Each structure stands twice: as C-alpha cells, then as structure tokens.
Structure 1
Amino acid sequence: MIEIQFYNSLSGRKEKFSPSDPNRVTVYSCGPTVYNFAHIGNLRAFLFVDVLRRSLKLLGYGVDMTMNITDIDDKIIRDSIASKKSIIEFTAPWTKAFFEDLKTVSAEILEHYPKATDSIPEMVDIIQKLQKKGSSTKKTKAFIFRSRNFKTTENSVR
C-alpha cells in the first residue's frame, strides 16, 4: 500500500499513517450543530471528511466513519424556545437540510451519524466520573475540564 502521512498537531510534524487494523480504518469527525442551514465553512469540513474517506477507500482501506449530529446546545435551546417547539421538532428540519446538502455536493453517506441527544446519560456519567477524579469543576452553568490531567497518546489527534 502507498505510504500516507498526516500532520499530527500534538507532535507538530507529519507522521506515517499506520492504522491499528491494516485493512480497516475507523474515523470520528465532528458534524453539524443543527440549528440553521450549513454555510460554506461547515461544508468545507464535511467535504474534507468526504475526500479523506474516498482517498482511503481508493488506497484499499475499508472505512468505517462516524460523524456526530449536535442536536442540543445553547443556540438550539434558545431558538427552540423562541419558536415554541420541542428540541426534536426544532432540529428535525435542520438535520434533514444537512443530509440534503450532503447529497447536493455529492458527498458519500457515512456509516454512522449519532445524535448528541442519544448519548446524554453517558455524557452525564462521564462528567460525574471526571468530577470524582478531580478532572473537572463546575463553573456557573458549565463544567471546566482540566486537559493537563489527561495523558496524550500516539493515537490522539485534535
């Protein structure tokens, strides 16, 4: 297989890509926050994921990609209240618009699109565990995480 290099923002240099499974690559990517139409900056990020996926497949890798859908945040809560809709009612048309945009730009559909609201109990559990370890503190309405408490590994990326 052709050698691929990626820039590692943790080390500050290009490094050889060597997936733990030489036949299958798993990728997680941040996705849209669904409170309005995507703009060109959003689409740039989604198209990068599409180009990466297609490139890996062209090089012979099996690809399993996940892109989250952020369907709850401050703007969504604010706008859903203003529109007198539930969060689900408010985000549904924006989520649909996102998938229509992907189709318009001919992006491949990924394997997984989990919604943030599907994982709230797990998020609460993680926050509670981090609090017990002293790795997070509550400030007003938010939790602050102490990143220096987390070890970085060769597989960490930003």
Structure 2
Amino acid sequence: MLKLYNTLKKKKQPFKPLKKGKVGMYICGPTIYNYVHIGNLRAYVFADILRRYLKFKKYKIKQVMNLTDVDDKTIRDSQKA
C-alpha cells in the first residue's frame, strides 16, 4: 500500500486516487536561473519515481510540470552575461 505524507494533516495517509484507476499530477518544475544543482532536481526526481511506480501499478496518468524560466534572478543573471 502506497502512503504519502499529507502536509495539511501532518501525517502519512494511504494513497486514494480521486477517480478509480486514474491519477493527475501537477509538479512545480525547476526555476531555471543559474547552474543546475541537486536542489533543482529533487522535486523532479521524486515526481518521476512516483509516476513510474503508479504506471507500474497500472494507473492511467496525466502529468503536467511547469518550467519557470523568467523571474528576477533570471533577468539579473542574463544581464551579467
């Protein structure tokens, strides 16, 4: 049984999809403003492993990830180049 940490309730809870056999995943992707480091990749790697596990368990998955490419740090560092 898959259990995930519920930050609202501050405890692990069994995973139950909203629709039987289907899972929707929204992942905040990295904000790309400088060289890549492990902190940028943690959320991506976790989401990828979770998606692969759910696919292995025969769930239909719709996954969306944003890529933030413009913010103050991006603008600042691009002006340095």
TM-score (norm 1): 0.47
Unaligned residue ranges in structure 2 (runs of 5+): none
- Helix, strand or coil at the partner of 1:20: coil
- Helix, strand or coil at the partner of 1:49: helix
Alignment-derived partner of residue 9 in structure 2: 11
Contact 2:22 / 2:59 at 8 angstroms: preserved in 1? Answer: yes
RMSD of the alignment, in Å?
Answer: 1.4
Alignment-derived partner of residue 70 in structure 1: 68
1:55 to 53, 56, 68: 53
For 1:41 and 1:81, how far apart are their aligned partners in 2? 24
- Higher helix fraction (1 or 2): 1
Bigger relative contact order (CA 8 A; separation at least 6): 2
Q: What percent of counterpart residues are identical? A: 49
Larger Rg: 1
TM-score (norm 2): 0.86
C-alpha displacement at 1:45, in angstroms?
2.3
- Helix, strand or coil at the partner of 1:22: coil
Unaligned residue ranges in structure 1 (runs of 5+): 84-158
* 2:47 counterpart letter in structure 1: V
For 2:5 and 2:43, how far apart are their aligned partners in 1? 16
C-alpha displacement at 1:69, in angstroms?
0.5
Deviations 1:53-75 (A, max 9, x none): 10110111111111110111110
Q: Does 1:80 align with 2:66?
A: no
- Higher strand fraction (1 or 2): 2
| Correspondence 1:1-158 to 2 at 5 A | 3-83=1-81
For 2:52 and 2:61, how far apart are their aligned partners in 1? 9
